[in-house]
Structure 1
Amino acid sequence: MALPAGPGLAAAHRHGPVPFSRCVRYLAFLWNLLFLLLGLLTLAVGVWGLLTKSSLPGGDRGAPLGSDPMLLFVLVGLVASAVSLAGCLGALRASPCLLRFFLGALLVFGGLELLGGLLLLLLRRRLRDALQDLLLLCLLRYQEDPDLQFLVDEVQRSLQCCSLESYRDWESNLYFNCSSPGVQACGVPASCCRQPLQGGSVPNAQCGLGALALGPAAAAALLHTGGCGAAMAAGLRGQAGAIAAGAVTLLLLEAVGALMALRVLGDITAGRVWQ
């Protein structure tokens, strides 16, 4: 005589296979663990940058923290780590509260990314003007902030340009102005030079000294005299497809994480996953 099925067996037959739910649960955990590690790496880079700059002998300790570019790495790393940690623990511990927090954060991020894309399309000219103002600020504070100095040098070196509109814009910098009493007077950064190595293996940091006192032809033979504003605009137009593809890829990655979290949350609600 067959015994009646107990409530546990009936629930198992009613709610479906548990192994698949467990597989999705652990896959969601590993997915969020990867982004947790990336977030912690970004946070470590930001903290390292802040500590390194503050320990430099000539570091600008009096600069406001809110204007430090490395602070962006710290904030992005903190937010990404917190959200990914919630996703990891929510999937591992089968916590509906953490999973709902994770899903809500992804929804907010996706909305902000879509809003940013729309603003980028609608306010292209204003954003271009804001980018030029930011670059001008970087030129004025070139010697005061090592992060801004590194950023300006990388932009000028990679785009083969000098200053904002023309190499003459460096006259607005207090240290490069020809009326300055320092050794950098009438000069430009070495990243403006056409051949910074000058036949050697080590870049010559003084190759731009006195360049503002030269005539246009002599300066053009020594420097990249074109401004970085037009070069950056052309570069952004050329990389528009890659930027759009990167944004879509990021949204797809967030959507995959959200779908796995929704599946785990649904399994918890249906009783296929126990806390």
Structure 2
Amino acid sequence: MLRVMSVIRRCVLGPGRKHSLLTVIFKIALRPEHQRPLLAPQMANRRQPVPQRAQQRVYRQSQIRYAPGAGGESEISCCVKYSVFSFNVIFFLLGFGLLLFGVWAQIEKDTFVNLLSKASKLYLDPTWPLLIVGFLTFTIGFSGCVGSLRENTSFLTFYSTLLGLLLIAEISAGVFAYACRDQLDNYIRNLLNDVVVGYRDDPDLQLLIDSMQETWMCCGINGADDWDRNTYFSIEAREVASPEAGGVPFSCCINSSKLEFKNYFCGHGVRLKPESHMAAHLAAQRVMAHTSPIYTEGCLPKLQLWLNNNMLLVAVSMVIIAIIQVLGICFAQNLKSDILAQRAKWYYTH
């Protein structure tokens, strides 16, 4: 090999030149790989074996030191941590279920497709409050679960703030309802009037009204004549020969909820005035015998009576809900302070 190099050197550079640049390059190129010099320190570092992930984790953990006198015990209470987690798992699952049910109901009615056309009547759709409550419950439960299980102070702060705002909103709503009860009563009456008018426009609303009338054994808002506001049950619908003219929904019929097979025609024409003498005689006999086929009392007086008779139960329920929210805030803040205290005990040597 040296003889070949000597011949090439003499041929290219001529005799007498022993250490030219071309000679050095040829010598380096013809050396074995393990004897070649490295061109840069970075290449040597790149060829070093990379430590495994487990070794890197052990190395980082070995660099963690506790502050002098702090000890190695955790400041985080497992009781508080898993109490917050288990408490919010229930709300997470409940909110997720309500959210799924509300979305399914909206998809079945194609409300998302016709959202703009039905925007003026969204307040009459009972699934929208279900979606809102489900979303709030899901958000609260999710933030509480993640914040407690992963010991994330940001999620715990968001969880406490959301619970606090919800508690303030509930207290404000209660004070407003008591201070403006007359205006609230008028608003509820107008809302129920709109509900009666839109009875056939929304299947969920129709199911809600029928369930309410069957459960409370009532008919209409203040009475059965309130159904005259509905286009289908109006007395004026006789002009188009509607069989439901002057009638009421089947849920107004007495004992309709106890029948195995519901009679959907039992309320047809029950509010029509008799036109013949025989019909008037039969109607008088039916009134005297107290055999009216429908409920005559309105649902709003029944609701007001129930609230008056169960005011203590409603108040206790509201207080229990408020206490649960306050306990959730306190537990979350306690866990957050424990996490911050634990972090304050650590410092890194590098």
Q: TM-score scaled to structure 1, two decimals?
A: 0.86
Report the equivalent of 1:190: 250
Q: Deviations over 1:198-250 (max 9, x none)?
A: 9x631111100010114675476111112222112111212222221221111
Structure 1 residues 52 and 125 mapped into 2: Cα distance closer, same or farther (>3 Å)? Answer: same
Structure 1 residues 111 and 147 mapped into 2: Cα distance closer, same or farther (>3 Å)? Answer: same
Report the equivalent of 2:85: 29
Contact 2:75 2:341 (8 Å CA) reproduced: no
1:73 matched to 2:116? no
Structure 1 residues 214 and 270 mapped into 2: Cα distance closer, same or farther (>3 Å)? Answer: same
**How many Å apart are 1:100 and its aligned residue?**
1.0
Query: Which residue, out of 211, 214, 222, partners 2:270?
Result: 211
1:42 matched to 2:98? yes
Structure 1 residues 241 and 197 mapped into 2: Cα distance closer, same or farther (>3 Å)? Answer: closer
Structure 1 residues 224 and 142 mapped into 2: Cα distance closer, same or farther (>3 Å)? Answer: same
Query: Which residue, out of 230, 248, 270, partners 2:319?
Result: 248
Alignment of 1:1-275 (within 5 A): 7=66, 10-12=69-71, 18=74, 21-54=77-110, 62-64=117-119, 66-67=122-123, 68-180=125-237, 181=240, 182-196=242-256, 201-214=260-273, 218=286, 221-271=292-342
State the identity as a percent.
Answer: 28
CA distance in 1, matches of 2:189, 2:323: 32
CA distance in 2, matches of 1:197, 1:203: 8
- Matched positions, count: 263
**For 2:69, what is the secondary structure of its paired residue?**
helix
**For 1:211, what is the secondary structure of its paired residue?**
coil
* One-letter amino acid matched to 2:246: C
CA distance in 2, matches of 1:119, 1:89: 35
CA distance in 1, matches of 2:116, 2:247: 26
* One-letter amino acid matched to 1:50: Q
Q: Deviations over 1:111-144 (max 9, x none)?
A: 0111111112112222122111111111111111
**How many Å apart are 1:80 and its aligned residue?**
1.7
149-158 vs 209-218, greater mean Cα deviation: 209-218
CA distance in 2, matches of 1:62, 1:47: 18
Q: Deviations over 1:149-201 (max 9, x none)?
A: 11211221122111122211211211111221222111111111113379x63
**For 1:37, what is the secondary structure of its paired residue?**
helix
Q: TM-score scaled to structure 2, two decimals?
A: 0.68
Contact 2:92 2:141 (8 Å CA) reproduced: yes
**How many Å apart are 1:52 and its aligned residue?**
2.6
Structure 1 residues 7 and 146 mapped into 2: Cα distance closer, same or farther (>3 Å)? Answer: closer
**How many Å apart are 1:26 and its aligned residue?**
2.0
CA distance in 2, matches of 1:149, 1:61: 21
**For 1:143, what is the secondary structure of its paired residue?**
coil
CA distance in 1, matches of 2:131, 2:155: 23
Structure 1 residues 274 and 42 mapped into 2: Cα distance closer, same or farther (>3 Å)? Answer: farther
**For 2:236, what is the secondary structure of its paired residue?**
coil
Give unmatched runs, 5+ long, in structure 1.
1-5
CA distance in 2, matches of 1:197, 1:97: 51
CA distance in 2, matches of 1:62, 1:79: 26
The 4+ residue runs of structure 1 with deviation greater than 4 A are 6-9, 59-62, 214-220, 272-275
CA distance in 1, matches of 2:66, 2:224: 81
CA distance in 2, matches of 1:122, 1:229: 20
Structure 1 residues 7 and 209 mapped into 2: Cα distance closer, same or farther (>3 Å)? Answer: closer
Contact 1:39 1:76 (8 Å CA) reproduced: yes
**How many Å apart are 1:272 and its aligned residue?**
6.8
Structure 1 residues 169 and 7 mapped into 2: Cα distance closer, same or farther (>3 Å)? Answer: closer
RMSD of the alignment, in Å? Answer: 2.7
